[in-house]
Structure 1
Amino acid sequence: MIEVLYLVYFIICSNLYQFCTSSNINSKRLLLNDPDVINNRLIRLEGIVSMLNASLQQVTTENQKQEQENQQQNQEIHRQNQEILRQNQDIQQQRLTIQTQDKSIQQLSSNTQSSGATYIRWARKQCPGNDTELVYSGYAGGSFYDQYGAAAEYVCLPPDPDFVKTSGGEYGRMFGAEFDSNFFASNSNDEDVPCALCRPKHSASTIMIPGKNTCYPGWKMEYYGYLASGYHSHKAASSFVCVDINPEYIIGGLDSRNGKLFYEVVAKCGSLKCPPYKPDHPLTCVVCTK
């Protein structure tokens, strides 16, 4: 529109110049002889001025419209900037939430790993599965089978004992352990029994279920086998343990030296309900974790 105004002004000035020049040359003739020419030129100039005013008005209107549009655009830009800022804040909040959740998951995982249960796998030297770590592989032991005052439980002795004193009273005694029958394997009689202390990495609880060779729903089976204990008429007490279904032996341990003995356990009806139990049937067992 500025170019149009310049053009209009140029036309006006050109006409004024022509009018003034023509008036100087023929002023007498125009004034005395041809007054209509002056009137026509004045009318022409008024038209040009009117056109100029209209152009100015249009330019002013368009400028006002442009200013309004600019103002609306600025408001829209401001609104979009506010929306972007809000979205950035939401993203930052979501990141913080995700980081908090990740820390919680890591903490939970750490707690689960740090609170893992342990169990002894009797008659095996290694732990089952890839999700269980071997703490140590050792020797089954306990008190002598025929001594009063003997400790009841079986123990898993480590292969690298630490000693401080060199002598002591023979009051409590620790012996090795062996099978005293061929029940657990066809050639198991008198074989010394190994053991493995195992730790599931992602389990907090461990149970041994006598009379079952599978775990209940929600529990993971570590191993299964047959229930074992001491002989019922021996003087020493014993406990129930689960001997692996595929027993191993300690190399060089085939010698009848007794010690803590492993025997199969059979069901005896009476107080024990038969059914579901069956008389004189060997009991299975399973070790489960969760």
Structure 2
Amino acid sequence: MNFLIALAALAIPGFHEIAGDNPLTAIILTTVINVLLRLWTKEPVQMPDKKNIIPLFFLSLLISACAGVPQRLDPNLFYKRDLPLCVTGVGCYEGTTVLPAQTTYEIEIAPKGDANIDLLLVTSCHREESFEKTASGWFIFQKKTKFKYFYTPAVGIEDDGDCSLMVNTYEKLLGRHSWARLRFEHPKYQLDARLSCNGEFKQAHGVSVCQSKAGLAQRIRFDEPVMFEWDEKCAIPKKAQDGSYEIPVSVGECGYTVRSQSGKLHDLLTIGYEGVLVREIK
């Protein structure tokens, strides 16, 4: 029986996942393989006795316990933006970043845990593009776990400094979805800042993004006096003794416009997540 189970795992992609969801199906599959092997070797077919069905069932349960089970998505939670991606000529990031202003971007997307990309959504203030499996195969997919996307901001709309890019991947079978938020530097935002975000220190040139667990305090500092504007639902920045501004990150996304006495602007986006989706199942 152990040999049949190993053979089933080799011959049937996703056998362990099938066993985890339906142990009885695993019993049927191993029985079918047993019959086929005996027909091929011309040996008499021996079906399992009824008294062996129960032990086989519990053996399948044991197999399913060893198989990885992905975490299920809670629709009521705002999850961390942690989709890994690499921008050619710029660098590799996880979930959020601010990119230098360019006329075009080549972005390679590869979800964690080798999750399949059954649907890719790319959304901005101007566009929403979707890529999914079609009858003729995968459209420009290198493989189901990777995708290369070319982004050219629309002149006068997406390159005005207020348009970011959301990249989301969705997996149909196991639900290992991923999300990313890309922002872009722009000449109209000239006020630099030093950002202390989630344990990291960053120098921000006019535009910044800070992601952390919702409710945690993050800080941003400017070299001259400033005034903040923010949405009503967002946390209020408070000036600390060292001259920086402390912001307890609100759930979801919050935008802050910062204006200095000299008239320079800074655009800050905070992202507060409530959960982290586990995607490794092996």
What TM-score does the superposition give when structure 2 sets the normalisation length?
0.24
Relative to its length, the structure with more strand (as a share) is 2
Q: Which has the higher contact order (CA 8 A, sep 6+)?
A: 1
